Amino acid sequence: MTSLRIGVLALQGDVREHAAALTACGAEVSLVRRPGELATVDGLVLPGGESTTIDKLLRRFELMEPLRQRIADGLPAYGSCAGMILLADRIADGTHDQQTIGGLDVLVRRNAFGRQIDSFEERLDAPALGAGPDDPPMTAVFIRAPWVEEVGPAVEILATVSTGPKAGRIAAVRQGALMATAFHPEISSDHRVHQSFVSMVGSAAAA
């Protein structure tokens, strides 16, 4: 069986960390900066970083429209932190000219979990990601993270913050071939999120 080729959008953000996590999960990884590179991948990761900067670079590198089209055609995509914002159909507290790729029927609020100085780790309630009551716990790292304030009827909530003052806040979602997390699994040694995405890409490729 041919190995899956998963791209990591390599315009800005945690590119190397995502590539390493995907490689550890058995995927072949390509860095994507141009439309021609986007055309060769079976799935795509949109890394954390600065969502407004990535938005501008997507347009500058003429990637925004090809990416919107591929996602509309069913390309599996996973966004972490800034990537979650980029996949959202609606954002709160964005800049006046900020655009998103869209595809996820959610409202995401930028920087909702706090500023850089407010970065924190928190345990998640995430049975869909292998972190239920009988599984090893998943501790997530939140860095200037967004949260999901509203979800459409087709959106599955994968994880919520389980303790602390932000308990119950939505930290991960999935809709069809799209998945997003408010946190940064790429900077931990827990690869359950990436493995879940690799499995999604495999299922889409098989179909």
Domain residue limits, the chain: 5-111+147-159+168-206
What is the model's pTM? Answer: 0.93
| Residues known to be catalytic | 81, 184, 186
Residue 166 pLDDT level (bands cut at 50, 70, 90): confident
Q: Which two tokens stand for residue 191?
A: 């690869």
**Using a CB cutoff of 8 Å and minimum separation of 24, what contacts does 110-113 make?**
110/51, 110/85, 110/146, 111/144, 111/145, 111/146, 112/145, 112/146, 112/147, 112/149, 112/169, 113/142, 113/144, 113/145, 113/146, 113/147, 113/166, 113/169, 113/182
Q: How far apart are CA 130 and CA 174, in angstroms?
A: 15
What pLDDT score was predicted for residue 1? 43
Positions of E strands within 47-200 = 77-80, 88-92, 104-109, 120-125, 138-142, 147-151, 156-161, 170-175, 178-181
Using one digit for the tens of pLDDT, what is the confidence trace for 132-141? 888 998 988 8
Residue with tokens 């909530």: 157
The answer as to CATH 1.10.1740.10 being correct for domain 5-111+147-159+168-206 is: no
End-to-end CA distance of the chain: 14
Residue 116 pLDDT grade (very low, low, confident, very high; cuts 50, 70, 90): low
State pLDDT tens for residues 31-80. 999 999 999 999 999 998 889 999 999 999 999 999 999 999 999 999 99
